[in-house]
Each structure stands twice: as C-alpha cells, then as structure tokens.
C-alpha cells in the first residue's frame, strides 16, 4: 500500500468500504436493519377454511354446474366417449390377437433363419453349451452391455433422488430408521449365519457355470445381491460397511463395465477386420471355455450384485 | 403335470386380481411376492430354469424388500393397536 494516505484515513474512504463489501467481509445490513429469525409458516385453521370455501364458491360461480348446460353435456358426452373408446380398444386388441399365428407352429415367422443359425451353429461358434448364454453374451453382447449400463444409470438416478447432503440430517435419519426394528435379533442372525454362505456360493456357481448350464450373470448377481441384503438386515450397516461401501460399489461397477467394454471392443475389432481372435474357444463343457463369455458373465454378475445391494442401502438411508 | 400347471395358473390369476383389489398396501406387496413365487415355478415347468432363478431372486426377493422399505419410509405400515400397547407395557416393565 502506498503511504500517501494513512491507514486510518484510508479506512474512512468509500473505496475501502466498497472493497470490504465486495469481499463479503462486512454485512451491509448488520446494525442498520433490525433482524429477527423468521417465524415458521403455518396457516391458521380459520384461514384454511376460508380458502376452502372461497375455492368452492369460485368453482360454483365460474362453472355453475346446475345451470351450465354446456358443461353438463360435456361431462355426459365425455363419459360416453370414454366407455366407447375402451370398448373399441379392447375389441381392436382382441381382433389383433386372434389374427396372430398359433403358438408353437413350425411355420411361424419367429422360426426363421436367425433362430436356426443360433441353434445349429451356436455351440460351434460360441463354444457355450447353454445356448441362451451363447446368444446374449456372444451374438448379442452389445445388447447386454447396454443392459448393464441401464443398471448403472438406474443407480445414479436413485442416488440423485435419495441423496442426503448434510451430515447431521443423515445421522438423525439413520438412528430413526434403526429404531424401528429389533437390534441383534437372534433368530434372524442365526438364520443369516446359516443361509448367507450357501446363498453366496450358489450365486457364484450360477455366474461361473453360466455357459455350461442354466443361469448367468444376471441371475447369479441377483442371488448374491439378495444374500447381501439378508446379511445387512441381520447384522446392520456398521458390519456390512466393513467390506462393502458406496465407494466399493463405485470401483466394482466401473471396473466391471470397463472390463466388459474392453473385452467386447476387442472381439468387435477382430470380427469387423476379419482377424483371427486370440482367445481360444476351448472344449465345450470345460469351465474355461467359450472364449470371453465367462469373463463377461463375471462382469455382469458384479454389476448386478452391487446394484441390488446399493438400491437397498440407498432406500434405507439415502445416498451419499 | 397339466393339472398342476392349471392350478398354478389359476392361483396366478387370483393373486393378480387380489393384489389390485387389496386395500392394505402391505397385503398387496405380500400377494405380489407370492405371485412372483408361483411365476418362478411356472417358469421351471416351461423349461426355462434361468428365468426361474432370476424371478425368484428379483421378483420374490429384492423387489419385495424394496417395496417394504419404501412403505416404511413413507410411514404406510401402521402398527395395530394391541401390539403397540404390548410394547408400551414392555417398556414400563423394563423401566
């Protein structure tokens, strides 16, 4: 600061005040305006009743239901037309259904060359014994990628809707929520101790054997997610968050989706450029067979399991 | 086997109608859960076990839990009167 004006003099000038006001160092209303905390807004009963009556009178005057012939006719015609429309819609749908070919006929349009190729060459081209998995994770893997992303986006949306920002309100909410239910329920805890490990093992089996038998990433992931929810119910958030937090979910989900995308990009790249894929299909029936399907199944399973549990956790205590 | 399937399908229709007609929301959820459970058995009978697993885990398990949690959050689960009285008595005894 230049020494032409002393500090005391400078503090009296307008520019100094303006600078302070600009920096937010001084509240311009402080000591000049009387300030009181605002009273909580609540309407009195009398006022509410008055409003209600006013509205009723308003409606009566504007529409005048007893004497307004136009309004009356409109209401009657509206009812008749709505019934007619429903009948018409039902008739149209029934007519359309009756036009459909009989279920299970061999000449139906569904039984075209696409289904034929899947059934005849599926095992040879994908290496998966379970033809359904071969279809959704090899021929139509791009669809499944979209489905996995839908789950991820759904979690993001729920997080936006149920987000709790302030720390105090979150704590209050959690204690409030816990007070509803019995803590340390012996029956539930014993049952969970017995049930959760088999549920997890069953889910992992479903995921890993997705290309060999019925099952796959989505069902296995859902089973593991249900097991996680049961564990959480029995032992509470404190214990579950020792190994599964929102951060874990974020890392898991991102890793799985990225892994899926990279693996599928590789196979799309090689397929589009007619390069021989480096990944062997293996012998059908072995656990390490059918190319990328096992990896993709694991990725989908991780995303689904995490999503199921995170939905539940966010519904219980809000996202953060 | 056909008779069994018919019984299950009939139960399915009854469940669907009952779920939409029930006045109590908690009852609706439980009926909906039994609907999913029956549906998963029907999937097995239709020879698609992978769908049956998914239906049992998602329809009967996770969705029901989410519904119940939501009901509790919006305070739609009303405790019956005698139950709350018992609780109060228990609290007094504890004190």
Please report the DSSP string for A24-50 in residue order.
Answer: T-S-TTTTTS---PPPPP---HHHHHH
The residue among A32 and A143 whose pLDDT is bigger is A143
Q: Are A128 and A138 in contact (CB under 8 A)?
A: yes
A100 compared with A319, residue with greater pLDDT: A100
Interface contact A219-B72, CB threshold 8 A: no
Average pLDDT over residues A83-108: 89
CB atoms within 10 A of CB A79: 10
Q: Percent of chain A, pLDDT > 70?
A: 88
What does pTM read for this prediction?
Answer: 0.69
Residue B11, CB half-sphere, CA atoms under 13 Å: how many?
18
pLDDT in tens, B1-50: 789 899 999 999 999 999 889 888 889 999 999 999 999 999 999 888 88
State the ipTM, two decimals.
Answer: 0.77
**pLDDT given for residue A313 in this prediction:** 86
Question: Shortest CA distance to A297 belongs to which of A85, A134, A105, A58?
Answer: A134
User: Are the beta carbons of B62 and A225 separated by less than 8 Å?
Assistant: yes
Q: What mean pLDDT do residues A85-111 have?
A: 87
With bands split at pLDDT 50, 70 and 90, how would you rate the model's confidence at B95? very low
B53 closest CB neighbour out of A180, A206, A229 = A206
Report the range of poorest mean pLDDT among A27-31, A116-120, A266-270: A27-31
pLDDT for A178 equals 53
DSSP string, chain A: --SSS-HHHHHHSHHHHHHHHHHT-S-TTTTTS---PPPPP---HHHHHHHHHHHHHHHHHHH-TTT-HHHHHHHHHHHHHHHHHHHHHHHHHHHHHHHSPPTT-TTSTTSSHHHHHHHHHHHHHH--SSHHHHIIIIITHHHHHHHHHHHHHHHHHHHHHTB---HHHHHHHHHHHHTTS-TT-HHHHHHHHHHHHHHHHHHHHHHHTTTTSS--HHHHHHHHHHHHHHHHHHHHHHHHTTT--HHHHHHHHHHHHHHHHHHHHHHHHHHHTTPPPSS----TTSSS-STTHHHHHHHHHHHHHHHHHHHHHHHHH-B-
User: What average pLDDT does this structure show over A130-140?
Assistant: 83
Single out the residue of A226, A237, A217 nearest to residue A301, CA to CA. A217
* Minimum distance, in Å, between the CA of residue B11 and any CA atom of chain A: 23
Helices A167-178 + A293-317 axis angle, to 10: 90
Query: Is the per-residue pLDDT at B91 higher than 70?
Result: no
* Per-residue confidence (pLDDT) for residue B90, from 0 to 100: 47
With 70 as the cut, is the pLDDT of residue A247 above it? yes
**Chain B contact residues (CB < 8 Å to A):** 48-50, 53-54, 57-58, 61-62, 65-66, 69-70, 72-73
CA of A90 to nearest chain B CA: how many angstroms apart? 19
Q: Which residue has the higher pLDDT, A276 or A134?
A: A134
B56 min Cα distance to partner chain A (Å):
9
**Contact B62/A216, CB-based, under 8 Å?**
no
A133-159 mean pLDDT: 86
**Cβ atoms of A169 and A227 closer than 8 Å:** no
Q: Determine the average pLDDT of the residues in A101-120.
A: 80
Instruction: Among A42-46, A102-106, A154-158, name the most confident range.
Output: A154-158
The pLDDT of A66-76, averaged and rounded, is 79
Residue B89 confidence (pLDDT): 47
Q: Which residues contact A305 (CB under 8 A, 6 or more apart)?
A: A203, A220, A221, A222, A224, A225, A228
Distance (Å) from the alpha carbon of B50 to chain A's nearest alpha carbon:
5
pLDDT greater than 90 at residue A96? yes
Q: Which of B54, B60, B76 to mutate to test the interface with A (most CBs of A within 10 A)?
A: B54
Residue with the two structure tokens 């039984």: A111
Residues of B in contact with A219 (CB under 8 A): 50, 53-54, 57
Number of Cβ atoms within 10 Å of the Cβ of A213: 14
| pLDDT score of B92 | 47
Residue B93: pLDDT above 50? no
Q: d(Cα A255, Cα A258) in Å, to the nearest integer?
A: 5
Q: How far apart are CA A298 and CA A216, in angstroms?
A: 8
Contact flag A222-B72 (C-beta cutoff 8 Å): no
Given A132, A216, A223, which is nearest B57 (Cβ)? A223
Tell me the per-residue pLDDT of B42-82, one tens digit each, with 9 for 90 and over.
999 988 888 898 898 888 888 998 898 888 878 777 665 55
Q: Which of B57, B69, B73 sits opposite A226 (nearest CB)?
A: B57
> Percent of chain A beyond pLDDT 90?
16
- The closest CB to that of A226, out of B49, B61, B73, belongs to B61
Which residue in A132, A225, A308 is closest to B50 by CB distance? A132
Report the Cα B65 to chain-centroid distance in Å: 9
Given a contact cutoff of 8 angstroms between Cβ atoms, the answer to whether A177 and A317 are in contact is yes
pLDDT digits (tens, 9 = 90+) for A176-223: 555 455 567 788 889 999 999 999 999 999 998 888 888 888 889 999
Q: What is the pLDDT of residue A205?
A: 92
Distance from the Cα of A277 to chain B's closest Cα (Å) equals: 29
Amino acid A319: pLDDT: 67
Q: For chain A, what's the residue count?
A: 320
Q: Residue A244 pLDDT > 90, yes or no?
A: no
Element (H, E) at B53: helix B49-54
Question: Which two tokens mark A67?
Answer: 């004497």
Q: What is the pLDDT of residues A297-306, one digit of tens each?
A: 899 999 999 9
> What was the pLDDT predicted at A169?
59
Give the pLDDT of residue A166.
Answer: 64
Q: Which of A12-21, A142-151, A273-282 has the lowest mean pLDDT?
A: A273-282
């Amino acid at each position: 600061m230049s020494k032409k004006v002393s500090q005391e003099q400078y503090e009296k000038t307008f520019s100094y005040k303006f600078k302070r006001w600009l920096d937010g160092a001084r509240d311009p209303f402080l000591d000049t305006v009387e300030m009181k905390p605002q009273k909580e807004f609540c309407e009195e009963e009398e006022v509410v009743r008055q409003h209600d009556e006013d509205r009723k009178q308003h409606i009566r005057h504007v529409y005048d239901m007893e004497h307004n012939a136009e309004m009356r006719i409109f209401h009657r015609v509206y009812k008749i037309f709505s019934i007619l429309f429903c009948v018409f819609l039902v008739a149209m749908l029934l007519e359309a259904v009756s036009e459909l070919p009989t279920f299970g006929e061999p000449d139906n349009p569904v039984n075209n060359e696409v289904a034929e190729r899947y059934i005849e060459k599926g095992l040879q081209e994908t290496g998966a014994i379970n033809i359904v998995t071969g279809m959704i994770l090899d021929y139509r893997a791009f669809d499944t990628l979209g489905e996995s992303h839908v789950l991820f986006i759904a979690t993001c949306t729920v997080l936006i809707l149920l987000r709790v920002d302030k720390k105090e309100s979150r704590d209050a909410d959690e204690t409030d929520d816990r007070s509803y239910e019995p803590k340390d329920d012996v029956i539930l805890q014993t049952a969970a101790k017995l049930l959760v490990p088999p549920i997890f093992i069953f889910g992992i089996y479903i995921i890993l054997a997705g290309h060999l038998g019925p099952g796959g990433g989505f069902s296995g992931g859902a089973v593991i997610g249900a097991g996680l929810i049961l564990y959480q119910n029995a032992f509470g958030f404190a214990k579950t968050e020792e190994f599964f937090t929102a951060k874990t979910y974020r890392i898991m989900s991102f890793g799985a989706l990225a892994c899926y995308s990279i693996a599928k990009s590789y196979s799309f790249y090689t397929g589009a450029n007619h390069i021989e894929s480096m990944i062997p299909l293996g012998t059908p029936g072995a656990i390490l067979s059918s190319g990328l399907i096992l990896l993709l199944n694991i990725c989908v399973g991780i995303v689904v399991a995490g999503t199921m549990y995170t939905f539940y956790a966010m519904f219980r205590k809000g996202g953060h | 086997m056909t008779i069994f399937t018919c019984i299950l399908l009939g139960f399915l229709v009854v469940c669907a109608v009952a779920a939409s007609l029930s006045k109590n929301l908690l009852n609706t959820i439980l009926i909906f859960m039994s609907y999913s459970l029956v549906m998963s058995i029907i999937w097995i009978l239709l020879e698609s076990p992978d769908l049956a697993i998914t239906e049992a885990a998602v329809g009967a398990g996770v969705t029901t839990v989410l519904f119940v949690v939501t009901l509790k959050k919006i305070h739609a689960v009303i405790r019956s009167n005698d139950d709350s009285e018992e609780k109060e008595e228990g609290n007094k005894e504890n004190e």
